[in-house]
Amino acid sequence: MIWDNARIHTSKAVKEFIENYADTLFILNLPPYSPMLNPQENVWNKHKTYFYEYKARTSIQEIKNFIVDYFNHNNSNTIETQSLVNARSYYK
């Protein structure tokens, strides 16, 4: 299993799980924030930047619409999303 050093990966429950299955698991920890090794970091960064903007929403429906619009935009803009996932800026 390959994962980054997210806080959840070091929780007590995860540590216990790993101990219980130590004979069948191989854990490879990536360095913290390593987009060259884990291009998904680029996607998370984009999501965080977009969702953590300081915009007040006046209703639950407005929040739902905001989320749906965001994911519709990403699903229709595959070139941008692929460029994040492929991390092509790291290939020389």
Q: Tens digit of pLDDT for each residue in 36-50?
A: 777 777 787 888 888
Supply 19's token pair.
Answer: 């101990």
At 65, is the pLDDT very low, low, confident or very high (cuts 50, 70, 90)?
very high
What is the DSSP code string of 26-65?
Answer: --EEPPSS-TTT-THHHHHHHHHHHHTS----SSHHHHHH
d(CA 76, CA 54): 25
pLDDT at 20 over 90: yes
Supply 9's token pair.
Answer: 């990966």
Percent of the chain's residues with pLDDT above 70: 89
Neighbouring residues of 50: CB distance < 8 A, sequence distance ≥ 6 = 70
* pTM, full prediction: 0.48
d(CA 10, CA 66): 32
At 87, is the pLDDT very low, low, confident or very high (cuts 50, 70, 90)?
low
pLDDT at 90 over 50: no
